[in-house]
């Protein structure tokens, strides 16, 4: 196989599913398409809207192995031409971090961040997360419908990660606006121009914020990163800016969509909601099943093949970009019985689902995300046990950009207190 991606290399069923996976239409429910790909084209060449061909991996065993395969590089500088075509030249300034690097650089960067982003630091945020959650719900109307995405799901993790980093409260909305643009899901000229402007603004802001932390350190994570060192030295200024960006980005959008997914699926399934909210332990277990059933991170970030790789009789040529579908892998019937059914009592889900990744790039913020999601659900449903969707579950609108990184709702309108 070459990177010309001849359609005849797929069966007619696989080719049709591959074409669907690059369209807007399948976003409302991509799971049937992923099921077809798992069966007919588990390693599938795609031609997404960004114009750079990729290979998509959909089966669980393949995905888990690929997430930890050193032949699949996360260092996008090694795929610089493809990187430029997808993201543009300006993105590189924000991508010199552990998410886009391989060992030994990744090892050094992750070790430094891990030394400051400790379980103790996360646990110390518990009371603040509860306070932020309570304050947001205090502002929500109980007399008319509320869209929980902008009013609750997004501001909760945004304020938590900003508090963790030490971003002043009055600067958070602007930082979030730039971050949202940088995480854009369009590939046209206007989107690329907006991306370039937002990246420049965000980079300049982070440079200035880091300079302030050097002059006036506080107890936030960013101040700790400024002074953190390991046996190979400290973070460079470029690495500091990029690390601050990836923590800001990864620390709020993924969790925001996951909270929304969890609320939606529990409201759509009253019996599952009852089981999930019996006690704190049941809620923690239910969250793992929801992470499996509808993870907010639909596809892992890009990798590229450092050498020719043969996977299930498909040649992924050296230099090709690879995407790993966590959503598809998490519903593989070879691993989960009746995978398209959400069962909050499903055993051993936390140990198996891939929603936080696998291997050296396993999500460093997973403990914080779990704490935020548990706090959000227990507080929200504890206050408003009769909360209901304003429309039928099947009318929910999902992100429609073809083949996005995220799986989440466009809106989440609810009535908090139907009485």
Percent of the chain at pLDDT > 70 equals 88
- Top-ranked range on mean pLDDT: pick from 83-92, 100-109, 310-319, 371-380: 371-380
What is the distance between the alpha carbons of residues 338 and 413, in angstroms, rounded to a whole number?
29
Instruction: Give me the pLDDT at residue 50, please.
Output: 62
Tell me: pLDDT of 404 over 70: no
First CA to last CA across the chain, in angstroms?
Answer: 62
Identify the pLDDT of residue 238: 87
Six-digit token string for 349: 């889900």
C-alpha distances in Å from residue 236, one per residue of 215, 229, 251, 312: 17, 10, 22, 41
d(CA 328, CA 34): 6
Average pLDDT estimate for 341-360? 96
Region 293-298: mean pLDDT is 96
pLDDT of residue 80: 58
Lowest mean pLDDT among 8-12, 375-379, 387-391: 8-12
The rounded distance, in Å, linking the Cα atoms of 169 and 173 is 8
CA distances from residue 280 to 122, 134, 251, 263, 374 in whole angstroms, order as listed: 18, 17, 23, 16, 8
Alpha-carbon distance 106 to 123, whole Å? 25
- Identify the band that residue 385 occupies on the pLDDT scale cut at 50, 70 and 90: very high
DSSP letters spanning 98-138: GGG--TTHHHHHHHHHHHHS-HHHHHHTHHHHHHHHHHHHH
State both tokens at 303: 């990798």
Mean pLDDT across 341-367: 96
Q: Is 45 helix (H, G, I), strand (E, B) or coil?
A: strand
> Residue 251: what pLDDT?
82
Give the SS3 label for residue 50: coil
- Whether omega for the bond prior to residue 297 falls within 30 degrees of 0, making it cis, is no
Q: What confidence category does residue 290 fall into, taking pLDDT thresholds of 50, 70 and 90? A: very high
User: Looking at the predicted structure, is the pLDDT value of residue 181 above 60?
Assistant: yes
Average pLDDT, the chain: 88
Per-residue pLDDT at 83: 60
pLDDT at position 10 is 72
Please choose, from the candidates 100, 269, 316, 94, the residue with its C-alpha nearest in 3D space to the C-alpha of residue 183.
94
The pLDDT, as a whole number, for residue 149 is: 95
As a residue count, the chain comes to 419
Q: How large is the average pLDDT for residues 242-255?
A: 87
Q: Where are the beta strands (DSSP E) in 132-184?
A: 146-147
Q: Which pLDDT value is given to residue 335? A: 98
The pLDDT of residue 1 is 32
pLDDT of 16 strictly over 70: yes
Query: What is the tens place of the pLDDT at every residue in 193-218?
Result: 777 787 788 889 999 999 999 999 99
Q: Which domains does the chain have, with CATH numbers?
A: 7-415 (1.10.630.10)
Tell me the longest C-alpha to C-alpha distance in the chain.
63
Section 101-129 average pLDDT? 92
180-199: average pLDDT: 69
Mean pLDDT score, 135-159? 95
For 19-74, how does the pLDDT look when each residue is reduced to its tens digit (9 = 90+)?
777 676 777 889 999 999 999 999 999 877 666 788 999 999 999 999 999 999 99
- Give the CA distances from residue 377 to residues 90, 156, 258, in Å, rounded to whole numbers and listed in that order: 38, 12, 11
Question: What count of other Cβ atoms lies within 10 Å of the Cβ of residue 139?
Answer: 10
CA distances, 187 to each of 182, 183, 201 (Å): 12, 11, 20
Interatomic CA distance for residues 385 and 393, integer angstroms: 18
Which range among 25-34, 159-168, 206-215, 320-329 shows the weakest confidence by mean pLDDT? 25-34
pLDDT > 70? residue 307: yes
d(CA 300, CA 120): 28
For residues 381-410, one letter each, b for 16 or more C-beta atoms within 10 angstroms of the residue's C-beta and e for the rest, the string is bebbeebebeeeeeebebbeebbbbbbbbe
CA torsion, ordered 386, 391, 394, 396, to nearest 10 deg: -100
């Amino acid at each position: 196989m070459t990177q010309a991606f001849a359609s005849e290399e797929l069966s007619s069923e696989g080719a049709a599913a591959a074409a669907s996976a690059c369209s807007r239409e399948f976003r409302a429910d991509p799971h049937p398409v992923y099921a077809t790909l798992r069966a007919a084209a588990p390693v599938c060449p795609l031609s997404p809207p960004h114009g750079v061909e990729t290979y998509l991996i959909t089966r669980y065993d393949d995905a888990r192995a690929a997430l930890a395969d050193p032949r699949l590089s996360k260092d996008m500088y090694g795929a610089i031409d493809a990187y430029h075509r997808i993201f543009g030249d300006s993105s590189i300034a924000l991508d010199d971090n552990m998410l886009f690097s391989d060992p030994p650089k990744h090892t050094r960067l992750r070790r430094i961040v891990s030394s400051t982003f400790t379980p103790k630091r996360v646990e110390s945020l518990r009371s603040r997360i509860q306070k932020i959650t309570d304050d947001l719900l205090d502002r929500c109307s109980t007399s008319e419908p509320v869209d929980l995405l902008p009013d609750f799901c997004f501001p909760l993790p945004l304020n938590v990660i900003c508090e963790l980093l030490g971003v002043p409260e009055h600067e958070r909305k602007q930082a979030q606006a730039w971050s949202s643009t940088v995480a854009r899901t369009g590939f046209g000229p206007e989107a690329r121009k907006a991306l370039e402007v937002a990246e420049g603004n965000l980079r300049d802001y982070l440079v200035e914020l880091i300079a302030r932390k050097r002059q006036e350190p506080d107890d936030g994570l960013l101040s700790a990163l400024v002074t953190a060192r390991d046996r190979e030295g400290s973070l460079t200024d470029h690495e500091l800016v990029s690390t601050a960006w990836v923590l800001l980005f990864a620390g709020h959008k993924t969790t925001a969509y996951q909270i929304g997914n969890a609320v939606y699926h529990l409201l759509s399934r009253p019996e599952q909601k009852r089981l999930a909210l019996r006690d704190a332990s049941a809620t923690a277990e239910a969250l793992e099943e929801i992470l499996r059933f509808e993870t907010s991170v639909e596809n892992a970030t890009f990798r590229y093949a450092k050498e020719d790789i043969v996977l299930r009789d498909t040649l992924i040529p050296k230099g090709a970009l690879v995407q790993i579908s966590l959503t598809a892998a998490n519903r593989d019937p070879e691993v989960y019985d009746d995978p398209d059914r959400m069962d909050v009592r499903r055993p051993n889900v936390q140990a198996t689902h891939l929603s936080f990744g696998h291997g050296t790039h396993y999500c460093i913020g997973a403990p914080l995300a779990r704490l935020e999601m548990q706090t959000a659900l227990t507080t929200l449903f504890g206050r408003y046990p009769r909360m209901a969707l304003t429309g039928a579950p099947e009318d929910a609108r999902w992100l429609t950009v073809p083949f996005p990184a995220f799986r989440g709702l466009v809106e989440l309108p609810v009535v908090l207190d139907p009485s």
